Structure 1
Amino acid sequence: MTHSAQPEPTDFVAAFSDPEAAARYADGPRRFVPGFEALHRMTSILLAEHAPADARVLVLGAGGGLELRALAEAHPGWTFVGVDPAREMLRQAERTLGLLMDRVTLVEGYIDDAPDGPFDAATCLLTLHFLDLVAREGTVRAIHRRLKPGAPFVSAHSSFPQDDARSRWIGRYEAFAVASGADRDQAAKARSAVDAHLHTLAPETDAAVLRASGFRDVELFFAAFTWRGWIGRA
């Protein structure tokens, strides 16, 4: 890992590169993330507190297009740059967005491949847990550099206690997925993947990363089992 915000290629990119998996993506978050649609609505409200009616918004981890669609529908004057390293997920985003694509530019790559901005707002949902601490810090700093002073940034991802309670929280993650209709074997595999491969941090560490990267007024706005979300301003 260099000082660049771009991480080394990892298995998570390969996992999202299968066309069939990309096509099925929309079903996953609703079963594994409590309040998934509400998270999008809250993100829309929080960004709009400080972003103008004609805001240019950076969306990191845009593959699939669900977040982009929710924001574009809620704010007809906003335009977007969506960045994601998985080509098939970007293709799925195009299908998800349909006619809304006329306000969206999609970029295949990582944060270093994004335009310099400055942007009026930014989001990074269900993404940063794929990055280790060094890559995460670099990515968040790179987002901050691309924002206008005072611009809002919403980040939400897997974040839960990493002490002796860690296993109990991961069990709750699995149990919620099963209760939401996920196949039991699929939920068990997802639990194993989270346990072995995600770079999860404790919530207080995640908040500290945002502050150390230059964001102020950092507030927790979303907490649902193993998921947390924050709003901060550049």
Structure 2
Amino acid sequence: MTSFSDPTAVSGYAERTARIVPGLRDLHRMAGVLLAERAPSQARILVLGAGGGLELKAFAEMQPGWQFDGVDPSAEMLELARTILGPMASHVRLHEGYIDSAPKGPFDGATCLLTLHFLPPAERLKTLQQMHLRLKPGAPLVVAHHSYPSEDPGRDRWLSRNAAFAATSGVPVRQAEGSIAAIKERLPVLSPVQDVDLLREAGFTDIDLFYCAFTFKGWVAHRA
């Protein structure tokens, strides 16, 4: 798995992520569309796991009137975000840390993309609850990450498909295949049913699946 403090890994983050996450740029655009369903033209948006700046840049391009608070535990990834954003960095305040480092809001919407699969269930629930507290009533939350039943005998088949996709995108075959064991061993991945249950337990309603790409799933939910 990637170290988010390794300079080489950080510098190649954008290219590498686009190779391994199907439709990454479209995922960002879809998230922007879902946020805009309820967020006003001058919205304030919370982006958790903002290191790298890819979704921040996509959202800022789509909605020039929005202001963002981006949170990430990696100082190196936040620096990359500043570089990626360029002149659009004036729309963003970056915070080093986890959800507790995020401003209290209230926010008009929030995203957490390709991040929650790093968190074990208890920490994941706490993170979702803290995001819920920071949102205005009715505001949308968009999440996307690895999600599959860990006991499903078809799990390895889908992880192999992820690896094959990465290989077709230019990732060396040995590296792509090595990701299968790394994901199984290091990521506390939940099933889609468990993910939806956690969103509900955190207080979210109107939960809809909008993105499904091999082992990656994405949902939009709303603060009650």
| Aligned counterpart in structure 1 of residue 190 of structure 2, from 198, 201, 208 | 201
Identity percentage of aligned residues: 53
Give the C-alpha shift of residue 63 in structure 1: 0.3
Q: Which residue of 2 aligns with 1:192?
A: 181
Please, what is the CA RMSD of the aligned residues?
A: 1.1
Give the C-alpha shift of residue 107 in structure 1: 0.3
Distance in 1 (CA, whole Å) between partners of 2:26 and 2:89 is 23
Give the C-alpha shift of residue 219 in structure 1: 0.3
| Aligned counterpart in structure 1 of residue 23 of structure 2, from 13, 35, 43 | 35
Give the C-alpha shift of residue 185 in structure 1: 2.1
Q: Per-residue displacement from partner, 1:118-145 (whole Å, max 9, x unpaired)?
A: 0000000000000000110000000000
TM-score w.r.t. the length of structure 2 is 0.97
8 Å Cα contact 2:41-2:66 kept in structure 1: yes
1:177 aligns with 2:177: no
Distance in 2 (CA, whole Å) between partners of 1:203 and 1:169 is 14
Deviates more, 1:181-190 or 1:63-72: 181-190
Q: Per-residue displacement from partner, 1:104-129 (whole Å, max 9, x unpaired)?
A: 00000000011111000000000000
Deviates more, 1:44-53 or 1:171-180: 171-180
Distance in 2 (CA, whole Å) between partners of 1:58 and 1:134 is 21
Q: Which residue of 1 aligns with 2:5?
A: 17
1:231 aligns with 2:214: no
Q: Which residue of 2 aligns with 1:213?
A: 202
SS at match of 2:50: coil
Q: Per-residue displacement from partner, 1:198-234 (whole Å, max 9, x unpaired)?
A: 1111111111111110011000000010100000110
Q: Which residue of 2 aligns with 1:6?
A: none
SS at match of 2:107: coil
- Which letter does structure 1 place at the counterpart of 2:30? M
- Which letter does structure 2 place at the counterpart of 1:21? A
Distance in 2 (CA, whole Å) between partners of 1:78 and 1:181 is 35
Give the C-alpha shift of residue 61 in structure 1: 0.2
8 Å Cα contact 2:5-2:76 kept in structure 1: yes
Q: Which residue of 1 aligns with 2:45?
A: 57
Q: Which runs of 4+ in 1 moved over 3 A?
A: none
Distance in 1 (CA, whole Å) between partners of 2:79 and 2:6 is 11
Q: Which residue of 2 aligns with 1:70?
A: 58
SS at match of 1:192: helix
Q: Per-residue displacement from partner, 1:17-39 (whole Å, max 9, x unpaired)?
A: 11221110001221111111110
Gaps of 5+ in 2: none
Deviates more, 1:203-212 or 1:65-74: 203-212
